[in-house]
């Protein structure tokens, strides 16, 4: 039980519970200590409970304003404290923060469940919902009422007492398991190191990778050696360029078996328990499967529609992947080798074929995509589209020296929001790339609350005199996350619940993925891509090679992604609880799909953080569903011009500003004038 009896002195001493006194009301990271979080959470939950009690105990008849809007406004302090803590625990964690997370997570789950199962609160919301036809609500108010009512139904408010009690137990247990799953991935990833002391074993590896590996070896006490890790900036180029096949095999096998080694980081039992708890919860709430429960809230609507969509794409992609495998095997034979192509060979020989077929070596492109160049290029694109300006704030509070802080201004110089960018990998940061917020946009007591957005990546750190040089994929990843940031920054909604990226999972990737289209465009690259040493603009010949090779290896990329999406759906369309072995389950899933042995799913079950510790369960398909939207949306610019202001403004007004205030298909039609078509995606990926 949380102890909420906090003294005034405790509150006054806690920077999370007092006025921040910082520019733009940014979190005062320089004051915040680990010991401040638990008392702040206790105070914030108590404050939230008080606000709920005020709504419930009101003698006035339930109305939209005194019940539904009041519920949306409640919990502001808890949102502030939780955003700061969760972002720090993801971006710059430590053992004490991790212990706090383990302690607070079940308490937060219980707090949320208690609110959703508060029968008096639900009765008031239900009363308002029953009167909705007579309330003359605007579009945003209607959507808030609909989503609020649904959240209580989906949270178990209509269940009897015994089922509600079981739901509390399930929610609490799942919150602990999802946290542990993610912790295990981070710790297992950080624990691996491939130490090389023989120079001959480094054959083929690019110089900047060797420089980073030598620096890391020195930091870890391996003087005169090289250390490679399972972090993407290390493992991916190692697999693409290391001539030593045995070492590639070791790197690949250990990478794809993370959290599957029967040690303290093993995730197999967590997967079994999580899947079965999700099945049980879906059944309690009246859904045949967890996927049915999730997809009710998404554009796709049903598991059947998702599976049909995945099947259509699989049928288009798998023949191309097989042809690519044939080409790679042919390269192996031409070199005089007789071994069969294996997963640890794919990236290595794909690079050889790319160079042979398109005269393109990925290492040729990296010098033109230094981190600073890419940031400046992104700013240029956004300024050309919407006139936004970015002013670096060197004196703003930061949680880590890597984080850069920018004030984002409208074209007229007015304040839009604050953007944190944290781009480099380190052991205290979880893997991958993501966008989040320290504060979402909303309107509160008549005041427009400007957003504070953060994006995180895991790119290679600058090494010696060399800046961080990005691969083409990393460069597009940065544009992707920046698109998410724009969705948060440009939000113009009344209610916190609906603002920014609070949209269905299979719609949220549209603003991010559409930005990748500009990243790949030749005109954009010539705007900013300059050699970090000579200042030379990226040559048109090299851009031509990049564009020509754009469809190369897309069978592989699409199939390894779809394989993970299929695994996700197979887990979450199970209708009954069962005992299963995750690795065997995954194997059977891939055999049914017809995955070729040369390709491994992009994310295997035991480190599939998207669905077992993130919010993408029964939703990993969303990236390619949104891919249909983004490819079709970008065609609106192709039909006009790359930086057509009228089209950009329409995209802003109908998509970026609107958050979850309307049905996503309506939002899209308002922008495009029609529903999206799949052909642009197939053309974009070379699948048609």
Q: Which residues are catalytic?
A: 481
Token pair 């995606």: residue: 681
What's the angle, vertex CA 421, arms to CA 415 and CA 424, rounded to 5? 170
Q: Kindly give the pairing relationship between strand 434-439 and strand 447-449.
A: unpaired
CA–CA separation, 684 and 146 (whole Å): 37
What's the angle, vertex CA 29, arms to CA 23 and CA 35, rounded to 5? 140
Determine contact, residues 654/540, Cβ cutoff 8 Å.
no
Pull the structure tokens for residue 564. 């993970």
Pull the structure tokens for residue 540. 């048109």
Burial code (b: 16+ CB inside 10 Å, e: under 16) for 494-527 equals bbbbbbbbbbbbbbbbbbbbbbbbbbbbeebbeb
H helices, E strands: number in the chain: 29, 9
CA–CA separation, 432 and 423 (whole Å): 11
Report the C-alpha dihedral over residues 223, 224, 225, 227, rounded to 10 degrees: 60
Burial of residue 8 (CB within 10 Å: 0-12, 13-18, 19+) is exposed
The DSSP 8-state label assigned to residue 436 in this structure reads E
Determine contact, residues 147/499, Cβ cutoff 8 Å.
no
Helices (H), 62-138: 70-73, 76-91, 95-116, 119-130
Determine contact, residues 295/303, Cβ cutoff 8 Å.
yes
């Amino acid at each position: 039980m949380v102890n909420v009896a906090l003294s005034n002195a405790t509150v006054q001493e806690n920077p999370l519970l007092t006025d921040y006194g910082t520019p733009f009301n940014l979190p005062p990271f320089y004051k915040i200590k680990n010991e401040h979080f638990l008392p702040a959470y206790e105070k914030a939950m108590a404050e939230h409970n008080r606000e709920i009690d005020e709504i419930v105990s009101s003698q006035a008849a339930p109305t939209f304003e005194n019940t539904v809007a009041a519920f949306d406004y409640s919990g502001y302090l808890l949102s502030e404290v939780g955003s700061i803590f969760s972002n720090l625990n993801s971006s710059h964690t430590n053992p004490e923060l991790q212990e706090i997370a383990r302690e607070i997570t079940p308490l937060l789950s219980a707090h949320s469940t208690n609110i959703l199962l508060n029968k008096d609160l639900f009765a008031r919301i239900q009363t308002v919902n029953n009167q909705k036809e007579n309330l003359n609500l605007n579009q945003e108010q209607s959507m808030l009422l609909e989503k609020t009512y649904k959240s209580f139904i989906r949270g178990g408010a209509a269940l009897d007492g015994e089922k509600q009690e079981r739901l509390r137990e399930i929610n609490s247990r799942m919150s602990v398991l999802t946290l542990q799953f993610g912790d295990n991935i981070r710790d297992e990833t950080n624990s691996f190191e491939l130490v090389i002391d023989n120079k001959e074993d480094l054959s083929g590896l690019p110089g900047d990778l060797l420089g980073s590996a030598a620096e890391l070896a020195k930091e870890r006490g391996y003087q005169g050696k090289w250390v490679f890790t399972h972090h993407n900036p290390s493992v991916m180029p190692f697999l693409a360029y290391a001539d030593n096949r045995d070492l590639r095999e070791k790197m690949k096998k250990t990478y794809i078996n993370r959290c599957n080694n029967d040690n303290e980081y093993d995730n197999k039992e967590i997967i079994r328990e999580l899947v079965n708890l999700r099945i049980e919860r879906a059944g309690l709430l009246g859904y045949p499967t967890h996927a049915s429960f999730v997809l009710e809230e998404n554009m796709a609507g049903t598991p059947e529609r998702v599976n049909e969509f995945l099947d259509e794409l699989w049928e288009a992609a798998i023949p191309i992947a097989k042809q690519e495998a044939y080409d790679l095997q042919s390269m192996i034979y031409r070199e005089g080798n007789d071994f069969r192509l294996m997963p640890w060979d794919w990236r290595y020989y794909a690079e050889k074929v790319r160079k042979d077929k398109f005269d393109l070596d990925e290492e040729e492109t990296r010098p033109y995509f230094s981190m600073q160049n890419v940031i400046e290029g992104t700013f240029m694109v956004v300024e050309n589209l919407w006139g936004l300006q970015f002013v670096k704030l060197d004196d703003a509070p930061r949680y880590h020296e890597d984080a850069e802080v920018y004030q984002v201004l409208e074209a007229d110089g007015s304040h839009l929001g604050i953007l944190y960018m944290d781009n480099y990998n380190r052991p205290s940061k979880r893997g991958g790339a993501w966008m989040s917020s320290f504060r979402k946009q909303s309107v509160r007591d008549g005041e427009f609350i400007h957003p504070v957005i953060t994006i995180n990546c895991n790119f290679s750190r600058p090494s010696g005199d060399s800046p961080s040089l990005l691969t083409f994929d990393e460069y597009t990843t940065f544009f992707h996350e920046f698109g998410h940031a724009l969705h948060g920054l440009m939000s113009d909604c009344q209610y916190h619940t609906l603002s920014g990226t609070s949209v269905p999972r299979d719609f949220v990737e549209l603003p991010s993925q559409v930005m990748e289209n500009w990243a790949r465009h030749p005109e954009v690259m010539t705007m900013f891509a300059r050699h970090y040493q000579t200042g030379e603009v990226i040559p048109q010949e090299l851009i031509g090679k990049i564009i020509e090779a754009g469809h190369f290896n897309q069978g592989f990329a699409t199939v390894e992604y779809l394989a993970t999406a299929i695994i996700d759906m197979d887990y979450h369309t199970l209708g009954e609880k069962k005992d299963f072995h995750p690795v065997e389950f995954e194997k059977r899933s891939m055999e049914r799909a017809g995955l070729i042995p040369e390709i491994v799913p992009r994310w295997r079950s035991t480190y599939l953080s998207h669905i077992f510790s993130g919010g993408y369960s029964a939703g990993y398909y969303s990236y390619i569903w949104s891919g249909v939207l983004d490819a079709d949306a970008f065609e609106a610019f192709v039909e006009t011009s790359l930086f057509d202001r009228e089209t950009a403004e329409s995209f802003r007004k109908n998509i970026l500003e609107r958050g979850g205030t309307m049905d996503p298909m309506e939002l899209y039609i308002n922008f495009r004038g029609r529903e999206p078509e799949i052909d642009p995606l197939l053309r974009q990926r070379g699948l048609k």
